[in-house]
Amino acid sequence: MSSDFQQGVHWKFPALAILVVFTGKDTMNSRLRFTFSFTYALQFAAVAAVLATAGFSGNAAAQATIKIGEINSYKAQPAFLEPYRQGWEMALEEINAAGGVLGKKLEVISRDDNGNPGDSVRVAEELVKREQVSLLFGGFLSNTGLALTDYARQRKIFFLAAEPLTDKIVWHNGNKYTYRLRPSTYMLVASLVKDAAKLKKKRWAIVYPNYEYGQSAVASFKTLMKAAQPDIEFVAEQAAPLGKIDAGAVTQALADAKPDAIFNVLFATDLGKFVREGNTRGLFEGREVVSLLSGEPEYLDPLRAEAPANWLVTGYPWYAITTPEHKKFVDAYRKKFNDYPRNGSLVGYSALMSIATGLKKAGSADSDKLAAAFSGLKVETPVATITYRAQDHQSTLGAFVGRTGVKDGKGIMSSFVYVDGASLQPSDAEVKKLRAVD
């Protein structure tokens, strides 16, 4: 053996080592000779057999579930999202108890985005790359929902926006891979406008959280109310930082404008502060208030006896919906969690049931096939049969509209009706103008 060239190389694997020695170039026949340690060769053969078996078992285990990534702002918005989590957990249990989907159990891997769009994208990337989820769902705030909508477009991965309300998710920023369950701001506003116009109030003040959801809701309210009541005037507008309202200043500014009626878009802790300050200062006396979301138990219940009286609201009067489907849902929820459902519970449950139904129709977790399957997909929810519209990917889940009141020291909704979401949509021609081309 020539001594002018000699080198050793190791490849290392878990529980396995192979030594390959380049013994140099033969000066007689210009061939490279490889010598393997006989001991290492035996170890390689034994461990390779173990790895082959383990690999087969690992692949079988991986194929036994369909991994679904879920992203939400649990720490930032617990009032809505803790019930929401319980809703999809109950759906997950029911789906898997019935045998799963396509012969596989569903597995949900959840992450918190801290209510931050940048974090939403970061954890989405982690779920897709590290956890290898097949699809995504969730979102609460409109700005985080828009971030996930754009991520779905770029990564070509299916995303069901469960809760984010901004119209842009299905219109201006809509894309092939994104669908939305919850009624949009346009739909929620439209569910109130008919009754709001009947009030025949000319001078309106507006208060809203100053981010995408609030801005979108106000834009829809102005457009729809002007169409219904051309002589309407908007005499005051207060945009409060999300979660940081100066309720005293806002209330006083609205009172100073002397409006005939108020349109409110505040929710969560901002709503509570506004209601208490408005009650104290007499802002609501003799004035009509039209309000998004304020009849949802997440936001109405904490006010207890301070709940506003006779506001026209959207909400979720779970205690008074008597259909068999809804009663079954409420009974199962109370049995599992020893608590009553909130609107978040309904949204979380319906979101995962939508995904399961879509997977069955698609016959696959492939994003392109799933996106195609969701077009025109019909889903049974506890409150109604809904359809995911082909033209804009918006579901036809509707809204409960009624008046607030207080009963036994608690806020309630009364005189409510369910407004079908299919009746709250703009024309297809208008949607075509608003929606980006997939």
In this structure, the strands spanning 399-407 and 410-419 are: antiparallel
Whether residue 54 is predicted with pLDDT greater than 90 in this model: the reply is no
Residue 302 lies in a domain: yes
Report residue 280 as tokens. Answer: 């104290």
Report residue 306 as tokens. Answer: 């301070």
**Total residue length of the chain:** 438
Same domain flag for 330 and 219: no
Count the domains in the chain: 3
Residue 414 lies in a domain: no
Q: At how many degrees (to 10) do helices 268-281 and 247-256 cross?
A: 50
Q: How do residues 178-212 score in pLDDT, each as one tens digit?
A: 999 999 999 999 999 999 999 999 999 999 999 99
Whether residue 59 is predicted with pLDDT greater than 80 in this model: the reply is no
Domain limit, last residue, from 45, 62, 79: 62
Same domain flag for 303 and 370: no
pLDDT at 438: 80
Q: What is the CATH number of the domain that holds 291?
A: 3.40.50.2300
Higher pLDDT, 148 or 3: 148
What whole-number percentage of the chain has pLDDT above 70? 86
Contact 416, 320 (CB under 8 A): yes
The residue type of 2 is: S
Residue 193 lies in a domain: yes
User: Could you say which DSSP state residue 27 is in?
Assistant: T
Report the alpha-carbon distance of residue 162 to residue 327 in Å, rounded.
22
Residue 263 lies in a domain: yes
As a whole number, mean pLDDT of residues 306-333 equals 97
Same domain flag for 204 and 309: yes
Q: At how many degrees (to 10) do helices 324-337 and 343-362 cross?
A: 110
Adjacent-strand bridge partners of 107: 67
Report residue 177 as tokens. Answer: 């891979």
Same domain flag for 235 and 191: yes
Same domain flag for 131 and 155: yes
Residue bearing tokens 């692949």:
59
Which residue range is the domain that position 286 belongs to?
Answer: 187-318
The closest of 414, 395, 389, 419 to 404, measured between CA atoms, is 414
Adjacent-strand bridge partners of 138: 71, 161
Q: What is the pTM of this model?
A: 0.86
Confidence of residue 64 (pLDDT cuts 50, 70, 90): confident
As a whole number, mean pLDDT of residues 233-251 equals 98
